[in-house]
Amino acid sequence: MTGHLKINKKRLLADIEALSKIGGTADGGVHRPALSDADLEARRWFRTKAEAVKLTVTQDGIGNLSAIWPSATPGARTVMFGSHLDTVPHGGRFDGALGVVAALEVLRTIQEARLSLPCHLEAISFTDEEGTATGNGLVGSRGLAGLLDEEDLQHPRHEEQAGFEARLAATGITIPGALAARRKPQTLKAWIEVHVEQGPRLDDLGIPIGVVTGIAGIYTYWLTFRGRADHSGTIPLDQRRDALQGAALFVRRSRELVGNYFEGGVMNCGMIDVSPGAFNIVPEVAHLAIEVRHANSEKLGLMCEAILNLAQEVAREEGLELEVAPLDDHQPAQMHPEIIAAIEDACELLDLPYKRMSSYAGHDTQIVATITRAGMFFVPSVGGISHSPHELTHAEDCINAGNLLLHTVLKLTESG
């Protein structure tokens, strides 16, 4: 009976356009870092839009901003959905924004249809997803999940703490409030986020919807290969213990290893330096930063093990010593099968082709998954371009995002 319901696509597209002007840059991008003036203006825009249609707007202790369509059912739980209004510096107009605008549009559509539902609906924008304000992302969702501690609210540069707290205050956030923002899991029924893919897979395949099955965990390490500093002229090539040769061999072989044996895994060697560092000195030490991602916890562990074994093997072959310094380990998040099913049912209803996939980027969803059943879907990013003024998601895909979110939310409310 609600299968025919559609969002107002003109309104959705107009909202995306209007929001893109807040912090908009000359090249068509958006510069709207968390807690900036532009971010505050975007928050006011959201509030105004929601209040204009008589939705209740609230803000929690960490500044997450919610528009609510309440249920009349006693003891109703909340189906929550949304994304984030902040952007990376000089980013694009779809990353985060699409998920918030779609969530708002879903509420307006349901409100206009006067649907009486057995769940509260809450469209939320999370604070500082990108981590530009705090140096570490997913801040609002971590607050909501009770995973923030005081350290997370210290500015990375001590001398800027006062200014940072002033920005927090201007946004309506206090540190005690932020630390007390945890939502009770039993009040939540489900979480759903729609986001642009930020990669090229859907665009390459011409498939409009990616149903996320898991969000990649990320392990990072510093590897140090240590050999001997030699005169680059007088020591024959075959007698050197050249740390850069070892690092280079590892860079090549590790990509092969992941490409050949770990489907669904990716890795990156994003930083390297060698010392002493001179034209005429054979490198003694090479430091290499590596990052490993996989959406499956067990496979991520196996992959890291294989990669570190490879590093050890390379060091042995090249006569080097190896030190491994693990840095961060963000665990993968599995999407809940019932939420995946709800998204896929909604796809069938709307006749939208879809493909299951992992998310290799981090999202608030991975945090919210720790306190409720969570799911996520992607719409295509043209050419996979992301965190750039040139990121683009076609209008039709934005409309699909809104309609699929709407019907996923409706499916999730069905059982009350």
Written as one letter, the residue type at 286 is A
Cβ at position 366, least distance to a copy of itself in Å: 12
138: number of Cβ within 10 Å:
28
- Under the binding rule (CB under 8 A), the answer on residue 334 touching a copy of itself is no
- Under the binding rule (CB under 8 A), the answer on residue 280 touching a copy of itself is yes
- Under the binding rule (CB under 8 A), the answer on residue 195 touching a copy of itself is no
Which of the stretches 45-53, 96-104, 155-163, 356-364 binds a copy of itself when contact is defined by CB under 8 A?
356-364
Cβ at position 9, least distance to a copy of itself in Å: 27
The answer for 200, left when phi > 0, alpha when psi is -120 to 50, beta otherwise, is alpha
- Under the binding rule (CB under 8 A), the answer on residue 361 touching a copy of itself is yes
The answer to whether the Cα torsion of 130, 343, 382, 289 is positive or negative is positive
Contact 49/104 with Cβ under 8 angstroms? Answer: yes
- Under the binding rule (CB under 8 A), the answer on residue 127 touching a copy of itself is no
- Under the binding rule (CB under 8 A), the answer on residue 184 touching a copy of itself is no
Cβ at position 210, least distance to a copy of itself in Å: 11
Write out the DSSP string of 350-389: HT--EEEEEE-S--HHHHHTTTS-EEEEEEPPGGG--SST
Which residue in the block uniquely carries the two structure tokens 């002493």?
276
What lies within 8 Å, CB to CB, of 121 at 6+ separation is 68, 69, 71, 78, 79, 80, 81, 106, 107, 110, 409, 413
- Under the binding rule (CB under 8 A), the answer on residue 289 touching a copy of itself is yes
- Under the binding rule (CB under 8 A), the answer on residue 299 touching a copy of itself is no
**Phi–psi pair at 205, nearest 5 degrees:** -85, -15
- Under the binding rule (CB under 8 A), the answer on residue 176 touching a copy of itself is no
- Under the binding rule (CB under 8 A), the answer on residue 199 touching a copy of itself is yes
Residues of span 231-250 touching a copy of itself by CB under 8 A: 231-239, 242, 244-245, 247-249
CA atoms of 347 and 369, how far apart (whole Å): 22
- Under the binding rule (CB under 8 A), the answer on residue 320 touching a copy of itself is no
- Under the binding rule (CB under 8 A), the answer on residue 351 touching a copy of itself is no
DSSP 22: T
- Under the binding rule (CB under 8 A), the answer on residue 257 touching a copy of itself is no
Among 274, 369, 374, 410, binds a copy of itself (CB under 8 A): 274
The answer for 201, left when phi > 0, alpha when psi is -120 to 50, beta otherwise, is alpha
The answer for 410, left when phi > 0, alpha when psi is -120 to 50, beta otherwise, is alpha
Cβ at position 157, least distance to a copy of itself in Å: 18
- Under the binding rule (CB under 8 A), the answer on residue 88 touching a copy of itself is no
Cβ at position 333, least distance to a copy of itself in Å: 14
- Under the binding rule (CB under 8 A), the answer on residue 131 touching a copy of itself is no
Which residue in the block uniquely carries the two structure tokens 């669904």?
264
Residues β-bridged to residue 355: 210
- Residue 354 token pair: 């879809």
- Residue 359 token pair: 């998310």
Cβ at position 397, least distance to a copy of itself in Å: 16
Size of the site for a copy of itself (CB under 8 A): 57
Site residues, a copy of itself (CB under 8 A): 197-201, 216, 218, 220, 230-239, 242, 244-245, 247-249, 251-252, 255, 258-259, 266-274, 277-283, 289-291, 293, 327, 359-362, 384, 386-387
